[in-house]
A and B are shown apart, each in its own frame.
Chain A
């Protein structure tokens, strides 16, 4: 069975440009998470979805970040405009439910120049 799929794997952009990340969770997983991971640090939750509903987005910087999960399957995370400090790895994870084990994708490494 395929794991969590993310694309692109790497993205380099100039500051003030927009960028979008895509995530395809494990089939049947209703809960989807987006995390931000800075170098040498643990992942930090940005947003959690239950099906198509965002149930925890308190850590998402809403002035420049947005996310959607149409039809409760795939999800996209967008940054507009990107800032230098947004350089990090953006991880997507999914689980059957909020209390089940989370499975992580490989992440998208974003570099903002």
Chain B
């Protein structure tokens, strides 16, 4: 079946550097995408979302880019901090089913 996946299972960055986490999706009908952050022992926490009629959206220190041509989603974290260490998931949704489909996760490790 169609699925959402990630390219890198683990990303290690130096504190203060920028981080980029990538995600590939295969369902062309998806029109809404979300990035979640999950810390150890906690549930996923909403970070930022983007609709398919946009190609970029910015939040505080985070930016999500959507490339519908190649079905690619990325999360950019500026000035990465130790508190950003977590597993990050992308998720997709399409209105017909209102069901959220998650990818496999990327672990971000921030070195002090």
Interface residues of B (CB under 8 A from A): 4, 9, 41-46, 89, 91, 95, 97-100, 102-105
Contact across chains for B99 and A45 when beta carbons are under 8 A apart: yes
CA distance A22 to B71 in the complex (A): 38
User: Residue-by-residue, is A82-95 near B (CB-CB < 8 Å gives 1, otherwise 0)?
Assistant: 00000000010100
Complex alpha-carbon distance, A104 and B91, angstroms: 14
Contact A104 B105 (CB under 8 A): no
Chain B interface SS verdict (over half): loop
- Partner of B102 from the list A42, A101, A107 (CB cut-off 8 Å) is A42
- The number of chain A residues touching the other chain, given as a range, is 20 to 34
A101: chain B residues at CB < 8 Å are: 46
Is B43's CB under 8 angstroms from A104's CB? yes
A-B pairs with lowest CB-CB distance, top 10: A42-B102, A104-B43, A98-B98, A42-B89, A104-B44, A105-B43, A43-B102, A91-B43, A106-B42, A42-B103
A101 to B36, CA, bound (A): 11
